[in-house]
Chains A and B, each alone.
Chain A
Amino acid sequence: MNKRALGDRGNSLVFTLLAALFSSCLLLLFFSESFLDSFALFFINPLTNRYYLGNMIAFMVPLIVAGLGISFAFESHNFNLGGEGQIYAGSFAAVLAALALEEKPVLMIWIVSFAAAAAAGGLIGALSGILKRRLAVDELISSFLVSSIVVLLVDFCITGPFQDPSSNFQATKAIPPAATLPKLLPPSSLSTGIFAALLVSFIGKFILARTRFGFELRLCGANKDFARYAGIDEGLYALVPMLLSGALHGLAGALMVFGSYGRMLRGFSSGVGWSAIAVALIARNNPIALLPAAAFYAYLDAGSKSVMMGAGVSPEMVGIIQAVIFLFITATRLSFFRLPGSSLRSALQDRAADRRKP
């Protein structure tokens, strides 16, 4: 990769973030009654209001942990699109474990529940890895399909056999209050889970950057043929990153339940998996960069929630902003409209890109 390409990637990130902010403003302008009021609600309220600030940081927790899961998969060139189902199944497994161990010591509940969450998510992720190795099924499609099925099955369990009979919500019973993570900024849902997320991202950085496993994983992602000639078992790296990725998604779900929700509500984590992909893309799969990326994303999310409460704008706005991010985040060239001479320049860029290819 040469300097020019690196510069383009940096520009594209700045451009993407600006496009996201710009489209947010545009949407406020179109869909709110008073632009200035909603502007303040969107951009300032999340930072000054204790409730929104706490919820914003709380939302960073699953984004960081699941985003790390995406990074592990994407760095090894495995496309895990099953995050939605892995998060949902992971949190369900954690709740089941916590409910089964109700009377046991808190530490034991934590260990078993989080292990169950990681196992559930990991198994679902690994299934796509196995399908890829054995039957050459594209993991990009299979992980999405498996996840869609899993979400529906968990929905069935929550509203059927495991529904809390004493509640009107479509939800399971609450986990033992003692087992929930301590709250940091009441009344918001921020808990000590944020420290776990920070720790996980540093461990992830260490594994990717400083271990043999991380090195081989990145090598398989960068150039599969080269990795094979170097004697690396590439089949292993089709499976293990998917397993790890799924396990981290499961963990993210468990952290949401233990940190914020205290029970499984139907659809409570809907959209978190896709958001984690956006965050990992903004962070370019760098575990440390996940922190500011998640903060930026959670800020936009908190802003749209605040403006929804205060000015009656739809929460789907955040979906549009997310789409804008996805549209531009992988751009490797920035001349959307043809400027004079730009087609020549892009032709030269293309040729340079071709020459860079192996």
Chain B
Amino acid sequence: MSWLDTATGILASALAAMTPLLLAAAGGLFTELAGMLNIALEGLMLAGAFFGFAAASATGSLSLGILAGALASSAIAWLYGSATLRLKANAFITGLAANIFAPSITAVLSASWFGTKSVVALPIPEPARIFQKSFGKLPLLGGVLFSQHSLSYLSWILAAGAALLLYRSVLGTRIRATGARAEAVAAAGFKPDSYKLAAIVLSGFFCGIAGASLSLPLGAYVPNMSSGRGWIALVAIYLGNRRPGRTALACFIFALAESFSNYAQGQFGIPSEFILAIPFAVTLVALSLGTSVKSE
């Protein structure tokens, strides 16, 4: 039965690894559907991880931590979005600015608040595994599904909420219309730029929670702990053809690859550099295959 335990173990950690990816991809979907290239997901996640952790350790409350991460990240997203839209700057370069700003400001603040620029580990409450006690003993998939911590379930609810917001609300419809035909939105008497800005701030909100879902379960903030996940979320959106369901599936596949490589590292003693390279390599291969399929 040991291979079965291994398989369910990998699956369970894949679901945990999917949490930040799913949230970041949900955020990125807003900007993608609004017709913008948002490479700032990475930096926004990192800001969420840091401010979420700092607030959780200061208040002792996980919920306040999540909220702080989401708000801090939304604020940076607003700044980045305003520069892009109001100043008509190149979205890629301003996105780069956000990605450089986040690790710098967190390092400076980390040095001044916690006295270190490396790992900050402080006692904060652990996210509860809310279904573990009642359903965690179920065999196979039951154990996998119900052994997650509360942030994972939150991410599923939020991802579904993002899809509903995009496809079943007035705001979401206008955001998507802006991406499809900005002139039509303008002709109907609305300002496309306002909806683009709303999409960017929403993406910041979701990425902030995504970042908090990295640092809070770990009970620590690690510099650059987003480690490429923002980029992977972006690629998941491309692979999912900008559709919520398929994007979620792509997130799951990337998470499975991540958890499998973690397992392989422990099992076969593969150097950590190779393990760290896997998400980038998988992304590159997926991108090459994805675009070649699309162009056929």
Contacts and interface: CB of A to CB of B under 8 A. Distances in A.
Contacts of B105: 316, 320
Nearest to A334: B87
Interface in B53-89: 79-80, 82-83, 86-89
A156 B86 contact: no
B271 A332 contact: no
Given A328-B87, A332-B88, A316 B96 contact: no
A274 B284 CA distance: 21
B281 interface: yes
B46 to A, nearest CB: 12
Given A149-B280, A155-B273, A316 B87 contact: no
Contacts of A131: 288
A145 B280 contact: yes
Contacts, number: 127
Nearest to A335: B86
Contacts of B117: 314, 316
Given A136-B291, A144-B231, A320-B105, A327 B97 contact: yes
Given A326-B94, A330-B90, A335-B86, A148 B101 contact: no
A89 B100 CA distance: 22
- Is chain B's binding surface mostly helix, strand, loop or mixed? helix
Nearest to A318: B104
Contacts of B283: 145
A145 B271 contact: no
A331 interface: yes
Interface stretch (B106-114, B128-136, B146-154): B106-114
A330 B93 CA distance: 7
Contacts of B98: 323
A326 B86 contact: no
B292 interface: yes
Interface in B253-296: 271, 273-274, 276-277, 280-281, 283-284, 287-288, 291-292, 295
B103 interface: yes
Contact of B83 (A140, A149, A314, A328): A328
Given A314-B117, A316-B103, A327-B89, A274 B108 contact: no
A172 B34 CA distance: 48
B219 interface: no
Nearest to B93: A330
- Chain A interface helix/strand/loop/mixed: helix
Contacts of A27: 108
Contacts of B107: 314, 316, 319
A231 B291 CA distance: 27
Interface residues of A, number: 46
Contacts of A335: 86-87
Contacts of B100: 274, 319, 322-323, 326
Contact of A319 (B104, B228, B288): B104
A320 B104 contact: yes
A319 B87 contact: no
Given A314-B107, A319-B103, A331-B83, A136 B280 contact: no
Nearest to B37: A140
Given A140-B92, A145-B284, A330-B89, 11 more contacts: A137-B288, A148-B280, A149-B280, A159-B273, A316-B108, A320-B105, A323-B101, A326-B100, A331-B88, A336-B82, A336-B83
7 contacts: A131-B288, A135-B291, A152-B277, A314-B117, A317-B108, A320-B108, A332-B87
Interface of B: 79-80, 82-83, 86-90, 92-94, 96-98, 100-101, 103-105, 107-108, 111-112, 117, 228, 231, 234-235, 271, 273-274, 276-277, 280-281, 283-284, 287-288, 291-292, 295
Please provide the 5 A-B residue pairs with the shortest distance between their CB atoms, ordered closest to farther. Answer: A319-B104, A326-B97, A323-B101, A331-B87, A330-B90
